[in-house]
Amino acid sequence: MTNLRNTPLRSLAANSPSRRANWKALGLSAEDMLKPKIAVINSSSELAICYAHLDGIAKIVKEEIRRAGGIPFEVRTAAPSDFITGANKGGSYILAGRDIIANDIEVQVEAALLDGMICLTSCDKTPPGHLMAAARLNIPTILVIGGYQQAGEIDGQPVDVEDVWSGQIGERFGAQPKFPVAEMAENAIMGPGVCAGMATANTMHCVVEALGMALPGHAPVRGNSPKMQANAREAARRIVAMVAEDLKPRSILTEGAFRNAVATVLAVSGSINAIKHLQATAVEAEMDLDIFALWEEMSDVPVLAAVRPTGAVRIEQFEDAGGARAVLKRLLPRISGDALTCSGKTLAENLADYEIEGPEVIHPMDNPIGKGPAIAILTGTLASSAVVRLGIRDGSRPEEFSGPARVFESTVDCMQAIEDRVVQPGDVVIARNQGLKGGPAMGGSASVILFALDAAGLAKTTAFVTDGQLSGLCLKGLTVAEVSPEAATGGPIGKVRNGDLVRISVAGRSIDIDVSAAELAAREGPGYCTPATGYLANFREVVRPLETGGVLLPLKD
């Protein structure tokens, strides 16, 4: 992409009489034309509670930008939310929406030659979409954490959306929910924001702060709370200053920053989805950085906080104990304190005078909750890379497994087999054709299978392997996800047959199949089994492999 910034042509375009004519009609004065133009990226949507409060936050941000001497322009983007936009096409639109967000921003912000942007980041795919756009455009950018929803109560016990989801699946397989599912659905969500746990959204919110792309102490935060509103005002003032300083994302998104983000995800036993989102951000920043290798390099980082679904700590307790800032303070001896942040200071400078508020919630490195890694990367004859989420490694779930494959081409067939008790203890359940191309866009709802195995009492006596992705709420049994190469591109997972022996070893970081290379090469894979039209068909054709984070951009030779 040709970048015309800091060239006479850019200056001419940015200050042209035709531009002045259009903006005068919008109410801008001649004086306003000389002020920094800031995009306020707003993914507000009436479809999903994750985004329902962002119009109010955008108003606050725009007011504060004006006070600070800038001119705000509100820009709308797509707003994917798992429980809403996951309703059709097996959830394929969820991940595919991430790249629409990045492209939406480029089309509006880059094309208009705006000077900076502030992104109101909320549900799972907006934080990576915003990070990818920031890395691609490389104009001063800061992210405002959109906050998490208030969970409800029944008979004095907390109830959240995870309880509803697991309860509705569990009932089909004979599991007893903690309360009637219909009653939980009426009480689980009591306000705007993202899922109340360390699922993908709150994991990515912590990642954003760890990368230095949000101000310190901003993640996580209660949705639409006075604190969140104050954070938004602070960020709005700061983005105007960042434009004056010409502090750009590629000065912040260094290898050290990514190391800090990886360590943070491991320390909170966060969502495995962070891996591909970090890799995609690195690719957009034109960095030669292997996040999968960095993950193994940081594998000694222990679990310091056990927020649901890893443990019993609730996200409110985690925030009150200091959140991402406290985790980074604990990790400082192990991570890159010299990484620059959007505050204009290094991470170490941001943390210098900070005292951790809740030591019983966020443990020190020398007294962790569990040994590392909470997430590991596996390789072998079944995958060049695959991800296993381990959480607290206390022996409650297997880390070594060997058993016969039981293969399924669709989630529907797999669910039926679990219900019919076709799946037996000792099986390695393989759900394929759910990858970036096969899903497409990692649709197929592999997460539902995992909850079904748990409800049927099979999560600890089987292993689950898929080339699909998993919800950040998933942490059950020995589960290997995001197997690459995927089935649809001829990967070994597409050539596994019922009864093939599959061996998984966390200690050995391996996942293998006891089939000779010659026989495996001779077998045919399933190809594209899932129909796709429209945008999803286009996504399937152009998406890059997981080694790139699943970006849509062409890569350099």
Measured CA to CA, the distance from residue 31 to residue 10 in angstroms comes to 19
Tokens of 111: 């094309």
Amino acid letter, 85: T
Tokens of 156: 């004095």
Beta bridge partners, 389, equal 375
Angle subtended at Cα 51 by Cα 239 and Cα 61, rounded to the nearest 5 degrees: 25
Measured CA to CA, the distance from residue 401 to residue 507 in angstroms comes to 11
Sheet with 71-76, edge to edge strand ranges: 71-76, 37-42, 116-121, 141-145
355: which residues sit within 8 A by CB, 6+ positions away? none
Map tokens 């101000």 to a residue.
215
Tokens of 209: 């702060």
The active-site residue out of 471, 484, 510, 516 is 471
The answer to whether 455 and 173 are in contact (CB under 8 A) is: yes
Q: For residue 170, what is the enclosing H or E element?
A: helix 161-172
Picking from 419, 459, 413, 450, the residue whose alpha carbon sits closest to that of residue 433 is: 413
Handedness of CA 129, 476, 393, 293 (dihedral sign): negative
Measured CA to CA, the distance from residue 80 to residue 130 in angstroms comes to 13
Rg (CA), the chain: 23
227: which residues sit within 8 A by CB, 6+ positions away? 221
Picking from 548, 485, 275, the residue whose alpha carbon sits closest to that of residue 387 is: 275
Picking from 555, 553, 550, the residue whose alpha carbon sits closest to that of residue 278 is: 550
Map tokens 């409060």 to a residue.
53
The answer to whether 123 and 81 are in contact (CB under 8 A) is: yes
Measured CA to CA, the distance from residue 485 to residue 390 in angstroms comes to 22
The answer to whether 170 and 451 are in contact (CB under 8 A) is: yes
Q: What are the Cα distances from residue 53, in Å, to 57, 145, 193, 542?
A: 7, 12, 8, 34
471 is catalytic: yes
Helix, strand, coil: what percent of the chain each, to 5? Answer: 40, 15, 45
Would you call 349 helix, strand, or coil by DSSP?
helix
Active-site positions read: 471
